[in-house]
Structure 1
């Protein structure tokens, strides 16, 4: 069991789509919270390590694009201190549970549609944002324009095509079912405009846009409570869509969720590719 952002992640207690008294919107919101917390548990240590190596310190001005939660922005605020600034933007800021305090500001903003903040930032960071944005090129240009000369850009994006399996060790029927359902999820995402291979293009894209000292690395979580919690929340969230599209039956989804809850599957999350570079 893992605690992130004040929530416990436990795949043995999955969300139940048949739960009495819970409306569909409530269950979707709960699923969003569980996915957010699972992402934090899986990827925050890697994110923090990259930002540390980029040299963050007191007085830095940071823009967290598509924040989606408090774990990263709270950590940034502590690192930059009272002389720094952290701007957290998102199209939906309902994740904010209390009023932001200096040096943190939370603002509603669409990185692919709205003009970038005018101030020059020492760090612009986005995690799991661009693959879900329709106009990825415009969003990337917005982040680049917001950097000061010498500022650092760090983008972390999933690459679903790099390792597409839920269970890389496919040794039995439960693992085969998990992988069939993962392929179904990928098919749904592709229909919605998600570029499954976007993460691997980031080093080239950053270089083509003039960034220097571009580096990249990949992280593939395999077998953890957060992997199981993320799998549960994702399948609960997409259950009706998978069934409607003929990609899975209700029985298959429920059987898979039962296996996840039993802890008998070695589940992998999608690879996260982190790419960073410096402007000017």
Structure 2
């Protein structure tokens, strides 16, 4: 599978990962805490990124628990050390773990990058204990919309938003994958306990605006390749990511909590 940011410079990608953590960790932790995570739980995180949620889960489950972090590149989590953490590098579709092993499985902004995302979800469900909880957080980039009144500014952002969506489509991916997650889980006999849909309406210089500006800088060539946005459009988008007077719905995040049936 191709990861869109695979060719990004390592330091820049680490900084982008830290921006994601700064923008979303508070809500992610609240969602996971609401599942009842407790000492002794066995947890899996698919796509550990820079490692903040991995470390937090390690603390939450204590020495009697276990947390497994899986990523195609574990460079960013290599410095994290705890007796209850196991780090695995590789493609989730190639990794074999025990079925019915985990009390909690979490993934954030990973499945949208995988063509065989539904196959991955089926595999994660097999790893989950009966009664275990699956927490998936995925974006919907088709909800992006500029609020700026200026014709030039608004048109530039709209073009970049279209380029982002087209980039995913060109790679055989779904830019609105987050919207599909509840139905996919339901079809796989997972009981949906909670769905949170949050539109990220933000001004420039906010955490999410900085994240999207950083992403646009890293993916500029891919955006231009879609022929939906020009280099000038992208530069306007990047500049406005630091402009506190510019507002945009950058995208939405769909967070889904589902529970595996005890008879599965």
TM range, smaller chain: 0.7 to 0.9
Give deviations 1:130-187, integer Å, cap 9, x for gaps. 11112112201110000111111111111222x132x2x1311223312211211211
CA distance in 2, matches of 1:80, 1:139: 25
CA contact (8 A) 2:112 2:173 kept: yes
Aligned to 1:199: 178
CA distance in 2, matches of 1:155, 1:212: 13
What root-mean-square deviation, in Å, do the aligned CA atoms of Structure 1 and Structure 2 show? 2.0
Give the direction of change, closer, same or farther, for the CA distance of 1:262–1:204 in structure 2 (3 Å limit).
Answer: closer
CA distance in 2, matches of 1:111, 1:184: 28
Aligned to 1:112: 93
CA distance in 2, matches of 1:159, 1:108: 27
Q: TM-score under structure 1 normalisation?
A: 0.83
Q: CA deviation at 1:270?
A: 1.8
CA contact (8 A) 1:59 1:84 kept: yes
Secondary structure at 2:25 match in 1:
helix
Aligned to 1:164: 144
- 1:98 correspondence with 2:79: yes
Aligned to 1:20: none
Give deviations 1:67-126, integer Å, cap 9, x for gaps. 112111111111101111110011111112415221111111322333344461000111
Identify which of 242, 253, 271 aligns with 2:223: 242
Q: CA deviation at 1:275?
A: 0.9
Secondary structure at 1:246 match in 2:
coil
Aligned to 1:155: 136
- 1:137 correspondence with 2:115: no
Secondary structure at 2:200 match in 1:
coil
CA distance in 2, matches of 1:56, 1:79: 7
Q: TM-score under structure 2 normalisation?
A: 0.87
Aligned to 2:189: 210
CA distance in 1, matches of 2:230, 2:259: 48
Unaligned runs of 5+ in 2: 1-6
More deviation in 68-77 or 175-184?
Answer: 175-184
Give the direction of change, closer, same or farther, for the CA distance of 1:83–1:74 in structure 2 (3 Å limit).
Answer: same
More deviation in 238-247 or 45-54?
Answer: 238-247
Give the direction of change, closer, same or farther, for the CA distance of 1:257–1:92 in structure 2 (3 Å limit).
Answer: same
CA contact (8 A) 1:227 1:267 kept: no
- Report how many aligned residue pairs link the two structures: 252
CA distance in 2, matches of 1:55, 1:120: 17
CA distance in 2, matches of 1:241, 1:209: 34
Identify which of 214, 228, 249 aligns with 1:268: 249
Q: Which has the higher strand share?
A: 2
